[in-house]
Every structure is written in C-alpha cells, then in structure tokens.
Structure 1
Amino acid sequence: MLLIRPIQGSDYPALLNIARESGAGFTSLPLDEQKLTQKITHSEHSFAADISQPGDEGYLFVLEDTDTGEILGTTGIEAAVGLSTPLYHFHKSTVVHQCKELGVFNPVEVLTVGNDYTGVTEICTLFLREPYRVGLNGRFLSKVRFMFMAEQPKRFAKLVIAEMRGAADEQGQPPFWNWLQSNFFNMDFSAADLLIGVGNKGFIADLMPRYPIYVNLLPESARRVIGQVHENTVPALKLLENEGFNHRGYVDLFDAGPTVEAQLKQIKSVRQSHRARVVITADADARRGQNQLAVCNCESQAFRATVSDDCRFDSESHSLWMSPAMADALNVNDGDAVRYLNLDKGAK
C-alpha cells in the first residue's frame, strides 16, 4: 500500500538519497547533512504546532511503500515564505520608449528584482524517484498537499506559489546563469545553488544588478529560456496548470524558471476534495468503487493519506466505505471524518 505521511527522524537516510538523486537546481533539498536534519526537525515541529495563522512553518511529507518500507518520494509546503530570509524573483514586464516627434513607439521587456511574494505559501520539494514515476504516483504526491491545505486552511496563506526548475543545457548548466555568472557573479552554479539551499541568500542582495535589465540586451541563449522549465519538470508544471496555477511573469533569479501562482480556495483539488464519514467493511463488493480515490485523515501531526480503488463513496449516506486495512493505514475508525479526492483523469 502507498502511504503519504509527515517525515520523521528515521527517514533521514532516505531523504539524503533523494537529495543526491534530485541533482543541482533542486534548491529545496540541498546536499547538506546539517540542513537536511534541520528540515526534518523543523517539519516535525510544524506538524505538531497549534497554528492560528501561517508563519515560518515547513511541512515535509514522504511517500512510503508500506509493504517494503521504502521511501519513494517526497513533497512539501512552506507556510509563509520570505519572512526569515528574503525571497527574491525577477519580474518580467514591459516598458514603452516613445517619442511622438519622431514617431517612435518601442515596447521593450525588462527584468526587475523584487520580493513581491513575501508571506505567501509555497508548495515545493516535489520529487518522485525515477523507478516509481508510473501510474498515479506523481499525481498523488502532488495533490496530497492540496488535500492537507484544504483540511488545515488556517496554516496557509490565501495565495499559493510554486517555483519551477528552469531549463538547463546538456551539462546541466542553466543558460540564464551562464550570462549572470559572467557579468555579476564569480562562482559556479553549484556553489550558488548550495548557498540558496542552505538559506544563505545575503550574496544575492550584494551582487545582483540593482536596476531593471533590458531583455533584448541579453544573449539569445539566456533570452530563450526565460520562463521555460527543465525537461524533467514539465509533468509537474502540467499538473499545476491543471490545478489552476498561472504564470504572471515572475521567474527565478538564477535559472529563470517560472513561478506559478493560484488562490488557495480556487485550486482544483481544494475545491473538488470533500469530507465524508468512514464506514469500515470486510465486504469487498460493498466497498468496490469505479475510481482511484486519494483519501486522507483530518489530522496534522498524525496525518496519513493513501490511494485506492478499493473504497467507495456512498452519496446517500455521505460516507466512504473502506477495508479494515485501509482504515488502519489512515488511523481512522467507524464514524471518523476523512477527506477524499478522485484521482482519475478527467475527474469533475
């Protein structure tokens, strides 16, 4: 059975392996043992905290195969970004150079550094190990965050963003960074990437250009990738676009990958997930459904979620019929509330 739960201290070796597999550019999981340990501890405290409004909490989940105990992937949520350390983005916009006397009207694109997303919620750290990128695994890992947010809205901001990994060349280097490095930074991308991952962002304010950058003055290789995602990130972006996320011109400082956003209450999986009461039955025919449902309990620290077609929503009683094994995995009893979401493609 596949189970998503909050990360715990014993998951450290698995998280370290995921950090190795994710590679450069995956800044939310730096290959730094102290930082990874801190992320686990911070997550444990966040899930346990009694929250009335979003703050500096970070929630990290893992996807576990309960039959083998193997960790297949991870996903996370930052409740309110930019509060303890600044969150920088470029914003691509248009300015107009106009001279009526000469009949010149020239709109040009510029990149401006800003902190416009301070205080918003960020979904992050979505990584599914390559052997398990099959079936509904990726969709389940992505959508479970929205089910948790729908169940715990006080923990999160009204606006939700996701920073998408930017395009890279055959050597794994972002073309946009190559231009930035040659003009403003005297360090390799891997060094800058590590500094960002461990939260050391002071060098950004010190070294980044302080004035708008005219896009048409950049080399073609850098211009071409502004707002483009890494080839491995395309499926994740499509999932978010299907949820209602949009790109409004904000891109990452180093690889120019797009940042997408959506209002929490308008996210598709938030709107389409619903609560139901648990009915536990050993009768396979009574609980057999026609759809793959993601189901989670309504807890925080003891949060559990799984996916199965061996459960059925009964509209007359507004209840979800499930097996004893599924109820045990979710830590629920007869009459408890759960939240469910249809994972099948084309679900309304």
Structure 2
Amino acid sequence: MMIIRPIARRDLADLLTLASKSGIGLTSLPQNEATLSARIERALKTWQGELPKSEQCYLFALEDTERQQVVGVSAIEVAVGLSEPWYSFRVGTQVHASKQLNVYKSVPTLFLSNDHTGHSELCTLFLDPDYRHGENGKLLSKVRFLFISAFREHFSRKVIAEMRGFSDEHGRSPFWESVGRHFFSIEFAKADYLSGTGQKAFIAELMPKHPLYVDFLAEDAQKVIGEVHPQTAPARKLLESEGLRYQGYVDIFDGGPTLEAEIDEIRAVKSSKLVKVVLDNAVVGSDAPAYLVANDNYPHYRALLVHAELYDDRLRINAETAAALGVEQGSQVRVITLIAQEKA
C-alpha cells in the first residue's frame, strides 16, 4: 500500500537515497545529511506548533508500506521570504519610443523581485524513478492541496510553486550560462547546491539590481525562460489542473516558471468534502472512481488513494484501508476526486 504521512526522523536514510537520485535543479532536496536532518526537525517542530510562521514547513513522505520505505516526498513552506529574502525574476516590458524617428519598440526585461514574500510554497516534490507509474505522482503532489483544505488557517492567501527549469542531459542550464555565470563565476550545480543548503546571501550580494534586457541573452537562454525541465512537464500539467497558473515570474538560476494561485480558488479547497466511512470488504474494481482520502487528523495525518464508491456522503472502504487511515465505521474523512471533473 502507498500511504502519505508526516516525515519522521527514521526517514533520514531514505531521504538521502532520494536526494542522490534527484540530480541538479531540485534545490530543496540536496544530498547533504545535516541539511536534510535539519529539514526533518523543522517539519516535526512545525507539526508540534513550536516555530514561528516564517520557519514553518510541512514535509510529507510517500511510504511503500510493504517495503517500509519512503519512496517520495513533497512539502509546503508556510510563508516564504519572511526570515530571508525570496528572489525571483519578474518578466516585464520596457518601451523605447521616439516620435522624431518614428520608432516604437517593446523590449522584454527581467527584474529582480521579492513579490512573493509571505506566500505559501509547494516545494520539494520528488518521486523515486522506480515508482513513477500508476497514480503515485498524482497522490504525492495533490495531497498537499487536500491538507491545505483541511487546515486552511495555517496558510497564506496565495500559494506558489517554483518549477524546475530546463537543463540538458549533462546538467547544463542555458539560462544560467547566459545570466548567472556572469554574476557568480561558479558552476550552475554549485550555485544550485549552495542555495539548497540555505547559503543564499550571495544571491543578494551578487545579482544585478537593474533590469536585464532579454534580447541581450543568448538565443537558447531566451527560449527556455518560463519553460520546465522535460521531466517536470507532467508536474506542471498536474498543478495547472488544480488551478495554478504562470504569471510571469521565473527562477533566477534556471529560468523555470513560478506557478501561483489564490488558495481559496484551488480545486481541493473549493471542492473537497467531509464524508462518513462505511466499512465494506467487498472487492471494488479499478474502474471505480479514484479518490484522494485523508483522515484530517492533524498530528497523525494520513492520506491515500482509493478506488471506491461514494454516495449520499458515505464512502465505502475496506478494513485495511480504514486501518491505514486510522479511522473506523462512521468516522469522517475528507475526499476529492483524483482528477478534476470536466464541466458539461
């Protein structure tokens, strides 16, 4: 069974294994034991209510219960940029015009921005390549929306998600080569690693404070502004299906897009509902609707994906599923369809 639960200290070894498979570009999952251990402790203290909003982060583990192994992680930062600046490039426009010469030209620009300060962030989404099949990826990503829906008061009015930008099979980022390298004089992988381990002061110290003209960048760099890494395309499509959109902000290192949405407009926040559990051990076919189901138990949060029958605000699940969720006959659970229902 694949189940979502809060991260635990015992997961550190599995987290390091996942980090070794993540490659360049996932800055929040560096292959660094001290950093990952601190990340786990921060998540535990968040659940225990011991941290200020500026430091809070929820970190979820996807566990294969048969192997007792964590095979994926995803997270929510409660409010970015409150303890240290949060940087992105805003894609904008400057107009150059001359009536005398009859010239009017719009020029795309990149401007260093802190516009997302205070917003909640979806981050650290990574699934072991061996488990990238079926609906594991959807479960790991979308469970965060179900959690936000249940505990809306813990989050900001807007949520963002920085998507991994384009880099080739050798880890070369065209955007970095045309922008970052000129200001940092280090390799993309090094800057990426430093940022992921919390060493971000160099960003403010070295990044340009004036707009950059996009037309001055190399052609391959211009083409990848706002584009995602090929492996990230499914994740972008998934988030867009939940209501997030690209609004013209990109990552300062690789040019990847930032998606964003008002939290109250997210599908799970608007459409998830509480229903009662009905225990039924009858076999339900895989053609039955797929639901994300969570117990809404804050300190012992559990969520999973089930094919089940839902009617009259009652969800039929078997005893094994109920035990995994920590619920029983008549308990309330939060549900939403895995895939958004298309309007007629």
What range is the shorter-chain TM-score in?
Answer: over 0.9
Offset from partner CA, 1:290-339 (integer Å, 9 cap, x none): 21111100112200011121x32221xx2222211111100112222210
Distance 2:275 2:304 in 1: 15
Q: Indicate if the aligned counterparts of 1:181 and 1:188 stay in contact, CA closer than 8 A.
A: no
Which SS does the other structure have where 1:184 is aligned? helix
- Equivalent pairs counted in the alignment come to 343
How far did residue 273 of structure 1 move? 1.6
Distance 2:221 2:269 in 1: 36
Structure 2 counterpart SS, 1:177: helix
Distance (whole Å) between structure 1 residues aligned to residue 339 and residue 247 of structure 2? 29
Aligned to 2:171: 172
- CA deviation string 1:109-137 (max 9, x = no partner): 11000100000000011111111111111
Q: Which runs of 5+ in 2 are unaligned?
A: none
Matched with 2:14 is 14
Alpha carbon RMSD of aligned pairs, Å?
Answer: 1.9
The answer on whether the counterparts of 1:149 and 1:270 sit within 8 Å (CA) in structure 2 is yes
- Give the aligned partner of residue 247 of structure 1: 246
The 1:223–1:284 alpha-carbon spacing in structure 2 relative to 1, beyond 3 Å, is closer
Q: Which runs of 4+ in 1 moved over 3 A?
A: 281-285, 344-348
Q: Shift of the alpha carbon at 1:20?
A: 0.7
Residue-by-residue CA offset, 1:228-250 (whole Å, 9 max, x unaligned)? 10011000000011111111110
Identity %: 43
Matches within 5 A, 1:54-65: 54-65=53-64
Do the aligned partners of residues 50 and 148 (structure 1) sit closer, same or farther apart at CA in structure 2, a change above 3 Å counting? farther
Is the partner of 2:55 in helix, strand or coil?
coil
Q: Distance in 1 between matches of 2:89 and 2:54?
A: 24
1:276 maps to which residue? 275
Partner of 2:39: 39
> In 1, Cα distance between the equivalents of 2:124 and 2:196?
11
Alignment of 1:222-301 (within 5 A): 222-284=221-283, 290-301=288-299
Q: Paired residue for 1:3?
A: 3
Is the 1:85–1:199 Cα contact (8 Å) retained in structure 2? no
Shift of 1:50: 7.8
1:85 matched to 2:84? The reply is yes
Q: Does 1:24 align with 2:21?
A: no
Q: Look up the match of 2:148.
A: 149
Partner SS for 1:170: coil
Which residue does 2:49 correspond to in 1? 49
Shift of 1:258: 0.4
Deviation track 1:133-153 (CA, whole Å, cap 9, x = no partner) reads: 111111111110000000000
Contact 1:110 1:214 in 2 (8 A): yes
Distance 1:181 1:146, change over 3 A: closer
CA shift digits 1:196-216 (9 cap, x unpaired): 011111101111111100111
Deviation sequence 1:9-38 (CA, Å, 0-9, x none): 001111001111001110011111111000
| 1:308 and 2:303 matched | no
- 1:221 and 1:14 mapped to 2: Cα distance? 37
Task: Name the amino acid aligned to 1:5.
Answer: R
Q: TM-score, normalised by structure 1?
A: 0.94
Of the structure 1 ranges 235-244 and 178-187, higher mean CA displacement relative to structure 2 is found in 178-187
- C-alpha contact (below 8 Å) 1:272/1:341 kept by paired residues: yes
CA positional deviation for 1:59: 0.6
In structure 1, stretches of 5+ residues that fail to align are none
1:312-323 to 2 correspondences below 5 Å: 312-315=309-312, 318-323=313-318
Alignment correspondent of 2:208:
209
Conserved 8 A contact 2:250-2:258: yes
- Between the aligned partners of 2:42 and 2:181, the Cα distance in structure 1 is 36
Q: Distance in 2 between matches of 1:263 and 1:336?
A: 30
More deviation, 98-107/148-157: 98-107
Partner amino acid, structure 2, of 1:73? G
Indicate the residue corresponding to 1:341 in structure 2: 336
Aligned equivalents of 2:88, 2:339: Cα separation in 1 = 35
Alpha-carbon offset, residue 345 of structure 1: 6.7
Alpha-carbon shift at residue 194 of structure 1 (Å): 1.3
Q: Structure 1: how far apart are the matches of 2:54 and 2:31?
A: 25
Alpha-carbon distance change, 158 to 170 in structure 1, aligned in 2, over 3 angstroms? same
In structure 2, the CA distance between the partners of 1:55 and 1:155, relative to structure 1 (3 Å rule), is farther
Residue-by-residue CA offset, 1:34-75 (whole Å, 9 max, x unaligned): 110000111111122289x95421011111111221222111
